[in-house]
Structure formats: C-alpha cells, structure tokens
Amino acid sequence: MNSFKIVIDGKECEAYPGETVLQVAERNGIVIPVFCYHRELRPEGACRVCLVEVEGAPRLATACTLKAMPNMVVRTNTERVKKARAGVIELILNNHTLECPICDKSGECELQMTGFRHGPKKSRYKEPRREKDIVIKGPLIEIDNDRCILCRRCIRMCGENMGNRVLGILKRGYKAYVSPFKGDFLESGCRHCGSCIDVCPVGSLLDRAFKYKDRPWRMEKTWTTCTFCGSGCRLEVDTYHGRIKRVVGRIGVNSGHNRGYLCVRGKWGWDVVYSERRLKKPLLKDGEGLREITLQEAIDVLKEKVCGRRVNLYVDSSLTNEELEFLYAVFGGENVTSDAYSFSQALSGISEITGSFETDRFSSIYDADIVFVVGDFIEEITPVVATLLRLAVIQRGKRLIRLGTFPSKLDSVAFQSLLVGEEDLIDTLKHFIMGALDSSYTSNSRDIDRAAKVLRNKKVAFVLAGLTLFSPDVKEISKTVAYLAKRLFANSPVIVVPPKANSIKVSKLFNLKKPSELEGEVNVLVNVELNRDFPGVSLKEGFTVLFSPYYTRDVALADLIIPVETGLEKRGTVEGVEGELSLETSLEPEYSLKEILNSLPLEPVEVLRKEFPLNEELGHTSLKREEGEFYLTVLLNRTGWNSVSYYSENVSRVASGRVLLLNPEDGKGREIVTLKTSGGELTVPVKEWEGVPQGRALLRIERFTRDVSQLLRGYFPAMTGIPCKLLLEA
C-alpha cells in the first residue's frame, strides 16, 4: 500500500490511504483528546473534542472523521483549537455531576483526565445544573444518567460490534438519556458481555459487582487467560490484598487475540473463586461418612490405593499444560477419557486428509478472502469467537458464509447463510466440493451453487465450531471440510475452535477413549463433574479419587476428595486457538494440583506425535430416526458453560431456566411436553420458535442436572442429533 506524508504540529508523519488524521496522530505519539471516538468503533464525530486546525480550511475539523490527504498540514494546539476544545469540555462539565470522590471510574475517567488537561480552569455557568436522576439497575449493569455525556459509545458497541441492539437514546434534547429499549436489561435481550461498561469514558455505566468496592489505582493488575471456554481470552484481573475485585477486558488496549472483548462468564464469573461450595480440606470416606484429613495423609492414600494400579483417568480440558503433563507422568496416557473427546474426533477427521493432528490458528481468518463457518450456537459456546467472526466482516470486509442447522446472529452479517437438516450436513459439504472444483456442476439448490461459485479461486478460511463439534457425525464433518479446504485455492486453513481452554493439548497428549471403553481398577476424576462433562455416563466400579475445587455431587461417589485451585488461581500455560497462552495470578491458593502430583511417583513423559493413515474416502451421516421421532439438541445457555452457572453468584443473576423450543407446527400450542429418549424421560415447559426447523427439538438448559444427564445416557459425547419422541401432555 502506497503511503504519503502529512505534517502534524510540525512533525512529518507517514499516512496511508483511508486513514484519519487521528489515527495517524496516535501512531506517531501525538495526543488528541477524544470522547465519542474509540478505536474499535466507527468514527462518528459527535463530541467535537478532537477538533484540529487544517491549513487552508476555513473551519476547524474533527480529527476522528477527517481523512488524511497528501501534504496536509494539521495543527492540534493552536489558540483557536484550545479555545474551541475548552468550550466543548466546559459545556459537557456544566451538567455533569461532580461525583469524582465516590465515582467508581475515578482514576480511569477520560472526562476527568481530559478536563484537567484541556478544559477551563473554572466554570462560568451560574444556572441550576440539570439533574436527570435516571438510574437503571440491571442484575449486573447499572446506568447512572447523571454522569452520562451522550457520547453513544455504548450504543454503537452494543449495536454495531456485538449485534445485540439493547441500548438506545430515549427522549430528545436536554431530556435525552441512555436506556435499554424496554427499560430493563433482561427483557431487552442483554447478553451481559460488559463491553458497554468497558468503552464508557465516564462513570455512567457501572459494573454492579464492583461498585463501591475499591479504587483503580490501589489494585494490583494481572493479565491472564480465561479458562471458562475455548476462546482463550486475555483479561485483566484486578486484586487488592490478595482478593479479586473485578475483571476487565480493556477493549482497544488489550493485546490478546480477543482485543478486550469478553462474555458474561469471563467478565463476571470470577467470583467462583469465593464460592461457598469451595472444598476447604481433603476428605476420606470413613464408613458411611467423610472425615477431614491432612494433605500429606491424602497423598499417602494416593500412593497406597492408586499408584501402581491401572487407572481410569477422567480429565477436564481446562487444566494447564503443566498439570496435564504431570497427570500423564503419574497415571499414563492410554486409559483416559475427557470432555475433549468430541474435539479429538474432529482433529482425527482432519488428520485423515492432511496427515496432521492439528488445527490452524484463528488469526488465519484475517488472511483469507472468505470465512466459511460450519456450526451452530457458536455465540453460546464460545461467545467471543462469534464476536471476532462478526468483526471480521464489519471491520475488515471479509465475506462470511455459514452452514448450519439453526439460525444464528452471525447470519445478520453473513454474505450467505445456508440452513440444512442435520442429517444433510455432510452431503451439502460434498456438493460444495463438486461445485467449487467443477464450474459446470449444479446441485439441487440454487443457494449452494451460488456459494460454491464464490469459493472458486479464493483463499478461504474454514471454521468448525459450536454445537457441531458435539454431533455424532463430527469426525465425518471435519474430514469433509478438510477435504474441501485441501482442494481449494492456496490450501485453505481449517480452524477447529476448542470448546474448552485446553482441549487441544488434551487431545494431543492422551489417547482418549469413551468412558465405556476404560479398563482400569481405580478411578481418578480431575476437575470434572460427571453430569456436566460426561452426561449420561456411569462411573466405573473401584476406588475413586476426586480432585475438585468444589463440593460437587460426585463427592458422594468418591472415596478420597482432594481440593485444588480454580483457573484464576493458576500459573502455567494452555494451548488455545492462538497457540500457547499464559496464565498468571496474584492469588496464593492453599492447594495446588501440580504440587500434589509432583509428590507422587513420576514416569518420564514421552509423547509421540499422533499420526493417522491418510484416507480420503468421505463417509456418510450416521444419524437415523424412526417415523414420528424428532432430533433432540441439548444446548447450554451462554451462562451455563463450564462451572460459572454452578458456582458464580454474579452469573446466576442473569441465568435462565430450562425450556424446550419447538417449531409452531410441532408445538401445536402445548405448554408442557415429556421428552423421551432411549436413556430416559424429561418433562419440560415448551416455547414455540420459528427458528427451530420442523422435526427438531431444542432443549435449552442452564446446567446439566441428573435428569437431563440421564436423557443423554448412551450418547456421549453427542449433544445433538439424538433421536427422541415427544409425549404430548394435555
């Protein structure tokens, strides 16, 4: 890209076509104050604080919207500019409540800082200050409109970047104020990602879990990686005297691949560290009850009852690389099951085409012309990945094609969205293979032919994510996607988004089996919960050890229970969508899984590279149902993934209950039905939604309770494509 020169405050700066004066100034270390502008939002030029003087122009211009032109001369600190800027700030301050001593934003407030540097030294305003007194309190977010400067950052972030459109300006003129459209965050459909709080320049949008808790300048700031899903988001954990006060993303400042965007779990799930259900001491079964023992006694029991015997190892895929390697060294890697089993099946399918048990990095989507997404409910399972896919379209101009079985919010920015039956997914991908390689090929679908034509001679990045990774056909789907990618222009990358933080490492390190295939004498459960991570699975008989941060239902099944730390208390690394990601903490947990394992007999770890024989023969769907049956999909809400809905009081405030969604043609106005699978029955309330295809049943839940788990008995790891019947209640 050809560059050119402009002059800002006497300094010659290099600029590129399409850049604004503000962007050029920022890159060259020249400070221009802003309010409405944010680097993650489209420029609007509403606040007028970034006014600059351009040589030859009759009026001052807003630097955030002014395009840089060759040989342009810009001045940011002339008397004319200073006077205009101070006047704008004075007008804002006239009706801005002066609550700096009690405002949670004090110390980080952009108005506070800009007012000191560029505002008037005293106010000339003598009229009574306008008071709105409009405070809107949601479960986690609060809007204090007395402090609002109407920059509209929150509205643009929520609507444009997040696609939620929850916030807007109600009324007009001096009565205008920011509010959820329905006056309530939950009723307006707020997803509680917290992005509006992060971009607010003043203390108008508040984190209610942090309100009046501490001051920004007193807290220790630690950057770490969120382990609540597979997005691998970088976030800042603020602590004071060894206790977490809040978590922030720092949108526009964050150097992680998530760029500061978080979801409800990452933003507010930090209080799982202080759950009342945390285990305090190791426990040993004694008769019919449990008694507390010391950690050394627990280690002695492990050496006596477990070490040297064949172990059934149940591993959570949120553990760190270091913890996993210790587990391998203590218990081996051949008799292991994990919630990463379905993800490993996806990598197995890819390896049969490419010969490599790997997934490409997520950042490869930015080098592609087209992003081809295969998956449903990505915004529920890995919300930030869905956000980044959306931003790739609206900020970087990528074309997005999505293939799935349910509607998605990504469809609103997609070049084309193809919805097919779950049993038709593989055949549809085969049509793409033929259509992309043979220009004369036609399928029975005009939409498929149109999308296939777009793929020809383009660099395409394929993304396999969401609930599709829990399909019974996951291996064949990923294999077919890899086959298509290999034959397109430039050998296109295939990104399989892990459902949990370290699913990639677990899949590479262990030879994973289904729980029914384990052949050990004793059981070791590491940070797992059977109902949540292995729904419908029964524990093998034998002495059972449970490593867990919490007092879970599985405590009743265990003979020895040992407390361990949570993700926010760990130091180490995980292998995420962008390679190795680091975990840091300023907390000092009492128990450490790594240290406990290190005290046990260890064997040398020799991990062999997984290789699969090449097999380019594409398979067919295994989905089958009898006449009158439905395909059941069980979906955890975005607040329910991992442990936050179980142990986070913050997140539980916005959690919803279970409901069965049916197409109106299938629901027929009934309010309650009983679901029946080969595993069990479950009676649930019904809600009709046209987004559910006919013949499908979508069960949305907050957590895997025992009755839901039993419904999925015999289908591990599948959570979709499960044959079921609806026993309609009167």
What is the tens place of the pLDDT at every residue in 501-556?
999 999 999 999 999 999 999 999 999 999 999 999 999 999 999 999 999 999 99
- CA torsion angle for 65, 71, 77, 83 (degrees, to 10)? -60
Segment 630-642 mean pLDDT: 89
Query: 403 forms bridges with which residues in the sheet?
Result: 374, 418
Which of the pair, 337 or 616, is modelled with greater confidence?
Answer: 337
pLDDT of residue 595: 95
Segment 203-224 mean pLDDT: 94
In angstroms, rounded to a whole number, what is the distance separating the alpha carbons of residues 377 and 387?
A: 12
Q: Is 481 left (phi over 0), alpha (psi -120 to 50) or beta?
A: alpha
Is residue 663's pLDDT more than 90?
yes
Query: 175 forms bridges with which residues in the sheet?
Result: none
pLDDT of residue 1: 64
Distance linking the first and last C-alpha atoms of the chain: 68
In the chain, what are the domain boundaries? Answer: 4-77, 127-270, 367-481, 630-728
In angstroms, rounded to a whole number, what is the distance separating the alpha carbons of residues 24 and 36?
A: 18
The amino acid sitting at 18 is G
Is residue 607's pLDDT more than 70?
no
Q: Which CATH number fits domain 367-481: 3.40.228.10, 3.90.180.10, 2.60.40.10, 3.40.50.300?
A: 3.40.228.10
Reported CATH class of domain 4-77: alpha beta
Is residue 608's pLDDT more than 70?
no
The 10s digit of each residue's pLDDT in 459-496 is: 999 999 999 999 999 999 999 999 999 988 767 899 99
The 10s digit of each residue's pLDDT in 330-354 is: 999 889 999 999 999 999 999 999 9
Segment 672-695 mean pLDDT: 94
Is residue 645's pLDDT more than 90?
no
Is residue 730's pLDDT more than 70?
no
In angstroms, rounded to a whole number, what is the distance separating the alpha carbons of residues 232 and 465?
A: 14
pLDDT of residue 128: 72
pTM score: 0.94
pLDDT of residue 95: 80
The 10s digit of each residue's pLDDT in 688-720 is: 999 999 999 999 999 899 999 999 999 999 999
Mean pLDDT rounded to a whole number for the chain = 92
The 10s digit of each residue's pLDDT in 552-588 is: 999 999 999 999 999 999 999 999 999 999 999 999 9
Sign of CA dihedral 358, 362, 368, 374: positive
In angstroms, rounded to a whole number, what is the distance separating the alpha carbons of residues 468 and 404?
A: 8
pLDDT of residue 729: 58
pLDDT of residue 296: 96
Segment 157-177 mean pLDDT: 92
In angstroms, rounded to a whole number, what is the distance separating the alpha carbons of residues 373 and 102?
A: 47
Smallest CA-to-CA distance from 505 within 351, 347, 334 is with 347
Does the domain spanning 630-728 belong to CATH 2.40.40.20? yes
The amino acid sitting at 229 is C
The amino acid sitting at 594 is K
Residue 717: cis peptide before it, omega within 30 degrees of 0 = yes
The 10s digit of each residue's pLDDT in 712-726 is: 999 999 999 999 999
Please calculate the CA angle 632-636-637 and round it to the nearest 5 degrees.
125
Length of the chain, in residues: 730
Is residue 440's pLDDT more than 90?
no
Residues with Cβ within 8 Å of residue 452, at least 6 apart in sequence: 431, 432, 434, 435, 436, 441, 443
In angstroms, rounded to a whole number, what is the distance separating the alpha carbons of residues 474 and 319?
A: 24
**Coil, strand, or helix at residue 442?**
coil
Q: What is the CATH number of domain 127-270?
A: 3.30.70.20
pLDDT of residue 439: 83
In angstroms, rounded to a whole number, what is the distance separating the alpha carbons of residues 249 and 192?
A: 13
